[in-house]
A and B are shown apart, each in its own frame.
Chain A
Amino acid sequence: MENIIECRNLSHYYGKRMIYENLSFDVPKGHILGLLGKNGTGKTTTINILSGYLEPRDGKCMIFGEDIRKMRPGTKARIGLLIEGHVQYEFMTIKEIERFYSAFYPKWKKEAYYELIGKLKVAPGQRISRMSCGQRSQVALGLILAQNPDLLVLDDFSLGLDPGYRRLFVDYLREYAKAEGKTVFLTSHIIQDMERLVDDCIIMDYGKILIQCPTKEILDNFRLYSCETDRVPESDIPGIYHPYSIKGRLEFGSFLRKNEVAALLAGNNIRFGQLSDKKATLEDAFISMTGKY
């Protein structure tokens, strides 16, 4: 399958603080890939590198087969970029901003923008600076849809949105991306949204990728376990994520089956009883993999 984004061995530091080292991932054509991670794990750094606003200490990123640092204007026209916080030119009105952007994109679809704006019940002369965060998010999304790009790069699209606007954004985006075969690379810190939206996800922890796989694989296979025990494992047990104890009950997540988990605990000399499991949501799996703290 053709890869739209290819990142190889990315490393970045802010001063002496390592953000990550040797990060590699691909985004296949037509897929919606979500980059999930706690605050400070390097999601926005990755978006900044991908959109050419940060030179990584090491490594290389290619989009549509072109090095992002030497990207031609024609290739840039194929990428829709949503900056964290739905940033847009606040000094422009709804009408002015559409007029401005339309001059740059040959495949511009004015009606896609106005269809979304129509749901906001705002006047065309309304200045963007006087709109709510939710309304601004729709303007930013409308502009990206009108641009009709082949790749959408969205940084923390859910930031500052109430549940209604988040749902509107997610539903619109998913419908659009699937109908038109678009590739989407996005980050969000609200994991529930991602479950409805992304085909594949990368879960990042500080300095590394924990897992990169289809979202369905996580939802089908990841389970939350709970058992009674008198002690918490002192060292990491491979296959078990972040075990912690609450009032004598050990809780953890794992991709392993119940009998495999039981054998693993026994093999590590952990006495347990009443081992139970339940299906995990993407948010459960995320918290289980990255830990609560």
Chain B
Amino acid sequence: MTKALIFKEWIKTRWYLLVCLTVMIGFAAYAASGAFRAVELRGAGHIWEVMVTRDAIFVDILRYVPLAAGFALAIVQFVPEMQKKCLKLTLHLPCSILKTTAVMIAYGLCCLTICFTVMSLIGILPLGRLFPHEMVSRIFLSMLPWILGGYSAYIFTSWIIIEPSWKMRIAYIAISALALRIFFLAPGPEAYNVFLPWLSAAVIFSASLIWLSVLRFKAGVQD
């Protein structure tokens, strides 16, 4: 049954995932090549200095990419379920509703993990040839809040799409916009380091919001 549920999610998302991976690879490669180009033009010493003294991390272009990817994946995955209330078919399957919902969300989070891993590897790994380990890890830690923001965008968007009442959807949109702002508040590198475990825990906890919408859908809540 789990395999069949994954098969359904795969049919909905396969073309999106291809496009998403291509775009992410493009952005990550562009960011990495920017660092190489800068080193080539100004010399490694100068770039190291800029990184330390002016907080440059060379991957700023990737800031909103995970956010957009999470947002779009939720749309691709859950809008077809809500068209003509198709979700009724999914929830009528002889499988626990909790399991069905969990498989769908887990699928989405796994897809995002693959995309974000590929993006991080292509955007950061080559930088190891230019910078010391500490600087590469600084870049990665600076990117982590953006990646968490991507997961959150996926969770919040799914929460909004599955919610059956438009009034509540509008309230959720406002809450989500404020919550997502948290991931992009501090512009400095590694500004979230101490906060990251708490932020990660909040993201994991927020996944339960989708279950709330599913329960409201199941109860036939209307405006």
Contact = CB atoms under 8 A, between A and B. Distances in A.
Contacts of A172: none
A92 B86 CA distance: 12
Nearest to A83: B88
B95 A100 contact: no
B85 interface: yes
Nearest to A93: B11
B86 A89 contact: yes
B222 interface: yes
Contact of B219 (A55, A73, A87, A90): A55
A14 interface: yes
Contacts of A87: 84-86, 88-89
Nearest to B7: A100
A129 to B, nearest CB: 9
A103 B83 contact: no
Contact of B1 (A48, A52, A103): A103
A76 interface: yes
B88 A53 contact: yes
B80 A76 contact: no
B132 interface: no
Size category, B interface = 20 to 34
A90 B83 CA distance: 9
A55, A85, A89, A101: most-surrounded residue (chain B CB, <10 A): A89
A226 interface: no
B106 to A, nearest CB: 17
A51 interface: yes
B53 interface: no
Chain A: number of interface residues, binned into ranges: 20 to 34
Contacts of B217: 53
Contact of B95 (A48, A73, A83, A89): A73
A88 B218 contact: no
A76 B92 contact: yes
Interface string B113-129: 00000000000000000
A89 B85 contact: no
Interface centre among A55, A83, A100, A103 (most CB of B within 10 A): A103
4 tightest A-B CB contacts, nearest first: A54-B220, A103-B4, A77-B94, A73-B94
Interface of B: 1, 3-4, 7-8, 11-12, 80, 83-86, 88-89, 91-96, 217-220, 222
27 contacts: A48-B220, A51-B88, A51-B92, A52-B218, A53-B88, A54-B220, A73-B93, A73-B94, A73-B96, A76-B93, A77-B94, A81-B88, A81-B89, A81-B92, A83-B88, A85-B84, A87-B89, A88-B86, A89-B80, A89-B86, A90-B83, A90-B86, A91-B12, A92-B11, A99-B7, A103-B1, A104-B95
